[in-house]
Structure 1
Amino acid sequence: MTETESALPDVRLLIDGQWADGGDRMAVLDKYRLVPAASLHVASREQAREAVEAAHRAYIASSLTPHERGAILERAAALLERETPQLIAALQTEGGFTQTDAQGEIKRCLQTFKLSAEEARRLAGEMIPLDGAPQQKGRIGFTLRVPLGVVCAITPFNAPLNTVAHKVAPAIAAGNAVVLKPSTHTPTTGNIMAACLIEAGLPAGLINVVHGGADVANWLIDEPDVRFFAFTGSTEVGRSIQQRAGLRRTQMELGSIAFTIVDDDANLDAALPKIVAAGFRKAGQVCTSIQMLLVHRKRIGEVETRLAQLVSELRYGDPRDPATLVGPVISVASAERIERWIDDAVSRGARKLAGGPREGAVIPPTLLIDVNSDAQVSCREVFGPVMSLVPFNSLDEAIDRVNATPFGLATGLFTNRLDGAFEAARRLHVGGVHINETSSSRVDLMPYGGSKDSGFGREGPHYAVREMSEERLITLST
């Protein structure tokens, strides 16, 4: 570590209620300025084990009631709101978030914590009508929802606050202990969240934070006391975690090629602003960001003209500039890959309706048309501010195009015909179908997750607390 790096703010580990130095350090970059912004402490194998052991001990010792867990989560939400300036600074520096994206991330995080607090108080089993079976007169049966134990949350860079909240808060609501491993690109918000939980009264050991890359994740997976893995990331990594987890439970929110369909009767005045936001917020680094916009051939000319104008007007660059709507992607390497994919599409015959040259880690918002189906931007997840227009002749053709990919996270459909809307709802092989909204539509209380190579399990506090708990059957004979 250089003298300059040693003067940077430390992002430390949290193990059993104590902040600790890691076995090694690495620099966290400012994603726009491309200079070191923090010094990240990286956990050793022994520290990863200690974090899991501390979580397991805390889980066994915990006597928190559902009411108390709910109260802690509500107090933590208030403390997180107090930390808004620090959270915005971290999101802008480490994640390249614009002011609007950072504020939206914080508001959603607070909502996720408050929803989880509600779920903590009402998590319950159900009565079993045993006396409805032969020879069971006088017998009573019911179930309890009980926690699983230690939950390991492995979280991504693109939503380093709210995605963390969607794993940590429901786990605590259900009565579990948590070991969090945030992305090394965006570690600070996870530490702030953990500090708020401790200040809110969460007992030591019920929240632990370890930092590091694939090695640290693998060490956590090897710990048998971890009973549930909540992962958001690539399909390739998710598949590896699932194989290594064995019989332990997992929740996987994985990759996608996100489609939104614009049918011939769509209200473009309502649809186009939503499409622009869904394609380019967070610099297109959302699994449900519109990558392929399927447009009925009757409307393709109008959509091309209007959308090209809207995208070309988007301000991009420094995320600290309040006028900026599209900031940098997570690294120069990612920006260079996205640039290569755009160039590959153009070399295969695509036309660029909006866009420009890469500037460091910033990719100008890019709109393509006439994209070859073999181009990378067509058949692989871009994860950047790039959208392609693709014409179709019938809704059946559009549905088949979506279903032809190995992914199935979410799809949007703009139409005013109920028969078409219900046809899409029945036939699209995705986790969510949003009528007159985009693929990126999400409310934090809804069940969120995919099918096929986009993973399984559902986020959303009501659903996640059930993923992170299990039913225990109780019977009583009188």
Structure 2
Amino acid sequence: MTSTHAFWLAGRLATGEDSFDVHSPWDGRLVGTVSVPTDAQVEEAVAAAYAVTAEFSATPAHVRAAALDHVSKRLAERTEEIAQLISAENGKPIKWARGEVGRAVSVFRFAAEEARRFNGGEAQRLDTDAGGVGRLALTRRFVKGPVLGIAPFNFPLNLCAHKVAPAIAVGAPIILKPAPATPLSGLILGELLAETDLPAGSWSVLPVANEKMPALVKDERLPVISFTGSDTVGYAIQQSVPHKHCTLELGGNAAAVVLADWSSEADLEWAATRIATFSNYQAGQSCISVQRVIADASVYDRLVEKVVAKVQAQVTGDPSDSATDVGPLVSEDAAKRVETWVDEAVSAGAKLLTGGKREGASYEPTVLAEVPAGVKLATEEVFGPVLTLTRVENTDEAFAAVNDSKFGLQTGVFTRDIQVAFRAHRELEVGGVVVGDAPSYRADQMPYGGVKQSGVGREGVRYAMDDYTYERVLVLTGLDI
């Protein structure tokens, strides 16, 4: 029998009156039972975060850095245990789950390093005009207040880390709300934070029910919201609190562009391998998984043959098996939605090159060509192991096809032409351009986020720290400088 997992309220373990079960999307087994906080307990956590803001923001940098270093170290020590938990509650293949833990280790380490560097201030002499003689401006950053971090299911540890670590680094209290499908990984972070000397009230991990979130979102004591998830929910949050600072990391239908100069056998093998891998890793449940492949006509046929073969070679099945590349989606409903979208595209005239079958929560890695404009697969984020192929005649057409999307998160451009690389950086309407690789590359210390309907603001430890703080200027007068 599985015991009920408590949540973390203002730094201490607590249980509520209700609970819910977490099941494996692979085999339906019970992974854990999680206690749900009452309205009074949520209020207690918010009040504690608000009350501790001044104390926490004044905490010495070495204290915050030591806490972050501790969490990083403990995640590394417990890698296999946590990876198995991620795989069980999310359905993610164990090899990808291990990689996710490794990334979270780095996020907390990066945050510790940034905490030590943060807020030294920038001095600016103001005597560039006569009215500023004898004056010096010192600009430093100060926390906006407690942060409400709302995390998704697809990276249940690392995307919680991206909310929590920057908040601790700047001294902003945080209330973390993990996804209801995958709360156990977020609760693990609570275990590790409880081993540190951070002040009581500076953090909570609350598995609040989705239907209870509007009140929490609107609470004036939480002036910063960091949300990762769907564009529908993200923009609903933003519209409900237009006066708050919202960082929204939303969806995408990322493109991999293969241009004419990427034409050798080795080049196409590399591109096909990366495309096949990163259209299917996490069962396609990544905001930057490859959904669209846009290839120059001169390499299209050779590339398609290789991509289809490599997609068919993806090992699907039990996520606990180290040989598995592609596991189930997070739920059977999610797989049914993907099935519906693929069926719609095929009925409208798309050519199914491989895949297209569902079994429970699992969906076969799928490749389609000649997808008509207007179907969901052509315009929306599929969030499943599906990619589409498009032939173009030149770079102009390729870049126009990338930009013909309401999303703009990241794009991969396979080219060796440095001028084309800079052109891509200049012209593509996305938050990141990856040259020589798939759009799915993300280093956790670099800025990450999108344009258009892919969101606002940036993650990446230092960039999130900027989002959680604001600049305040101190002007000193009567100085001989």
Q: Give the TM-score, by structure 2 length.
A: 0.95
8 Å Cα contact 1:11-1:187 kept in structure 2: no
The 1-side partners of 2:270 and 2:376 are apart by 30
Q: In the alignment, which residue of structure 1 is the partner of 2:111?
A: 116
Which residue of structure 2 lines up, in the alignment, with residue 459 of structure 1? 459
Q: Deviations over 1:349-382 (max 9, x none)?
A: 2222221521211111111112122222111110
**Structure 2 gap ranges (5+):** none
Alignment correspondent of 1:194: 190
Q: Does 1:137 align with 2:133?
A: yes
The reply on whether 1:165 has 2:166 as its aligned counterpart is no
Distance 2:317 2:208 in 1: 29
Q: Are the equivalent residues in 1 in contact too, given 2:269–2:306 (CA < 8 A)?
A: no
Measure how far apart 1:21 and its partner are.
Answer: 1.5
Q: Does 1:325 align with 2:325?
A: yes
The residue that corresponds to 1:79 in the other structure is 74
Aligned to 1:24: 18
1:93 match = 88
Alignment correspondent of 1:41: 35
> Offset at 1:459?
0.8
| 2:3 is the counterpart of 1:9 | yes
Cα deviation for residue 256 of structure 1 reads 1.1
Which residue of structure 2 aligns with residue 104 of structure 1?
A: 99
Gaps of 5+ in 1: 1-6
Letter of the 1:118 partner, please give it. E
Whichever residue aligns with residue 120 of structure 1, its letter is A
1:429-444 → structure 2 map (5 Å cutoff)? 429-444=429-444
Q: Does 1:263 align with 2:252?
A: no
1:275 paired residue number: 275
Q: Determine the structure 2 residue equivalent to 1:424.
A: 424
C-alpha distance in 2 between matches for 1:143 and 1:458: 22
Once the 2 structures are TM-superposed, how far is the Cα of residue 215 of structure 1 from its aligned partner? Answer: 2.1
**Equivalent pair of 1:48/1:219 in contact (CA under 8 Å):** no
Output the CA distance in 1 between the equivalents of 2:322 and 2:19: 33
- Give the whole-Å Cα distance in 1 for the aligned partners of 2:209 and 2:386: 27
State how far apart, in whole Å, the 2-side matches of 1:308 and 1:76 are.
Answer: 42
Name the counterpart of 1:376: 376
Map of 2:342 onto structure 1? 342
Asked if structure 1 preserves the Cα contact closer than 8 Å seen for 2:280 and 2:326, the reply is: yes
Q: How many residues of Structure 1 are paired with residues of Structure 2 in the alignment?
A: 472
The more displaced of 261-270 and 229-238 is 261-270
Summarize the alignment of residues 275-314 of structure 1 with structure 2, pairs less than 5 Å apart: 275-314=275-314
For residues 202 and 387 of structure 2, the distance between their equivalents in structure 1, rounded to whole angstroms, comes to 42
Tell me how far apart the structure 2 counterparts of residues 193 and 133 of structure 1 sit (CA, whole Å): 51
Distance 1:148 1:219 in 2: 20
- Seq. identity, %: 38
Structure 1 residues 7-29: Cα deviation after superposition (integer angstroms, max 9, x where no partner): 43323221122211123222111
Provide the C-alpha distance between the structure 1 equivalents of 2:424 and 2:257, rounded to a whole number of angstroms: 10
CA contact under 8 A between 2:151 and 2:229: conserved in structure 1? yes
Pairwise CA distance, 1:439: 1.1
Rounded to whole Å, the distance in 1 between the matches of 2:209 and 2:300 is 44
Q: Following TM superposition, by how much is the alpha carbon of 1:40 offset from its aligned partner in structure 2, in angstroms?
A: 2.0
151-160 or 436-445: which moved more?
436-445
Could you tell me whether the CA contact under 8 Å between 2:149 and 2:225 is conserved in 1? Answer: yes
Kindly indicate whether the alpha-carbon contact (under 8 Å) linking 1:338 and 1:384 is maintained by their aligned counterparts in 2. Answer: yes
**Pairwise CA distance, 1:150:** 0.4
Amino acid at match of 2:387: M
SS in 2 for 1:475: strand
Asked if the contact 2:292/2:387 (under 8 Å) is kept, the reply is yes
How far residue 312 of structure 1 moved from its aligned partner, in angstroms, is 0.5
Per-residue deviation, 1:158: 0.5
C-alpha separation in 1, matches of 2:461 and 2:55: 24
Deviation string, structure 1 residues 134-177 (Cα, Å, up to 9, x no partner)? 23222222012112220110000001111111111001101100
1:221 matched to 2:217: yes
Aligned partners of 1:9 and 1:37 also within 8 Å: no
What is the alpha-carbon distance in structure 2 between the residues aligned to residue 17 and residue 351 of structure 1? 54
Query: What CA distance in whole angstroms lies between the structure 1 residues aligned with 2:408 and 2:38?
Result: 36
* Residue among 180, 184, 203 paired with 2:180: 184
Q: Output the TM-score relative to the length of structure 1.
A: 0.96
What is the RMSD of the two structures over their aligned residues, measured on CA atoms? 1.4
Of 60-69 and 161-170, the range deviating more from structure 2: 60-69
